[in-house]
Amino acid sequence: MEAKIVLEAIGKCELPINYNYLVQSMIYALLRKNSDFSRFVHDQGFSKGLTRIYKLFTFSQLIGQYQIVQDKIVFLHTIVLQIRSIDQALILQIVNSLLEDKEVELAGQRLVVRDVQVSLVALEESDYQIRMLSPVIARSTDKESGMTTFYRPDEKEFSSRLIRNFQNKYKAYYGVESDSSFSIQPLHSNSFRKVVTKYKNFIMTAWSGDYLISGKPEVLDFLYQVGLGEKNSMGFGMFRIIKKEK
């Protein structure tokens, strides 16, 4: 399920270039109306016996007319944010909070809620061309050295890491192993772009662009709802369909 939220700044909305943490904090604030549910999402999440916990929601980059002023991004008028999750209760809680309060706070700035649209889309095909709404992360961390390696979309390990991440999230939600997989590759040799961003004190290397993704419809639909790759709840891995492959 997805919520598409249209916000309007009172004047201008000025944010740091690396604003993911601020948007994530705003989302958690919207969930706090239901304290038990908020506590589950923030502190527990989904694990089903896994050591890692998954939130299983993702969100887009902010969309709107903006200017870059030194180290700030200044949104001039309306701002669009898309939030998606396989957990419909999470989306409905966010929507209810928005409709009740009619405004939100982002980085200490008041934004008026102009529109909220809820959609429930199910992917039913086996091949799609997709475009990242927030960049995707594929990485590994060496246990001994603690060094993290981020993989490019044209490296074999890129798809391997995304598949492993999908399998973990699938088990975290359903409690069973998935017997299916998927494939992903850049749509063209120059269809992806490196995005380096900072989340709190961590530097993340991610990739935007267009890709071809193939697999069983139920696998692709799961990925559509929860996001591709790592750090989805920090604003990474959300994609939209740009074309169905025949």
Between 41 and 223, where is the model more confident? 223
Which residue, among 103, 116, 89, has the nearest Cα to 34 in the 3D structure?
A: 89
The DSSP-derived string for 42-78 is III-B-TT-SS-B--EEEPPPBS-EEEETTEEEE-SE
Same domain, 175 and 214: yes
Pairing of strands 57-59, 139-141: unpaired
Q: Both 96 and 198 in a single domain?
A: no
pLDDT for 198 beyond 80: yes
pLDDT at residue 209 greater than cutoff 60: yes
CA 164 – CA 181 distance, rounded (Å)? 9
Q: CA distances (Å), 86 to each of 95, 208, 240, in order?
A: 15, 22, 15
| pLDDT above 80: residue 51 | no
Local confidence band at 42 (pLDDT 50, 70, 90 cut-offs) = low
Partners of 208 in the beta sheet?
193
Give the SS3 label for residue 82.
Answer: strand
Choosing from 119, 137, 172, the residue where a domain stops is: 119
Q: Given 119, 148, 183, which residue is the final one in a domain? A: 119
Q: Are residues 50 and 153 in the same domain?
A: no
Domain membership of residue 236 as a residue range: 127-244
The 3-class secondary structure across 125-167, one letter per residue, is: CCEEEEEECCCECCEEECCCCCCEEECCCCCHHHHHHHHHHHH
| One domain for residues 133 and 82 | no
Domain count across the chain: 2
| Confidence at residue 245, expressed as pLDDT on a 0 to 100 scale | 66
Tokens representing 109? 């700035």
Give the end of a domain, one of 90, 119, 148.
119
Tens of pLDDT, residues 62-121 = 999 999 999 999 998 899 999 999 999 999 999 999 999 999 999 999 999 999 999 999
Query: Distance (Å, rounded) from C-alpha 61 to C-alpha 63?
Result: 6
Residues 145 and 235 in one domain: yes
Active site residues: 28, 42
128 pLDDT exceeds 90?
yes
User: Nearest 5°: phi and psi at 49?
Assistant: 90, -10
Nearest CA to 132 among 73, 27, 213?
Answer: 213
**Residue 12 belongs to a domain with what CATH number?**
3.30.70.1890
* Cross-strand partners of 97: none
- pLDDT confidence of residue 45: 73
pTM of the model: 0.94
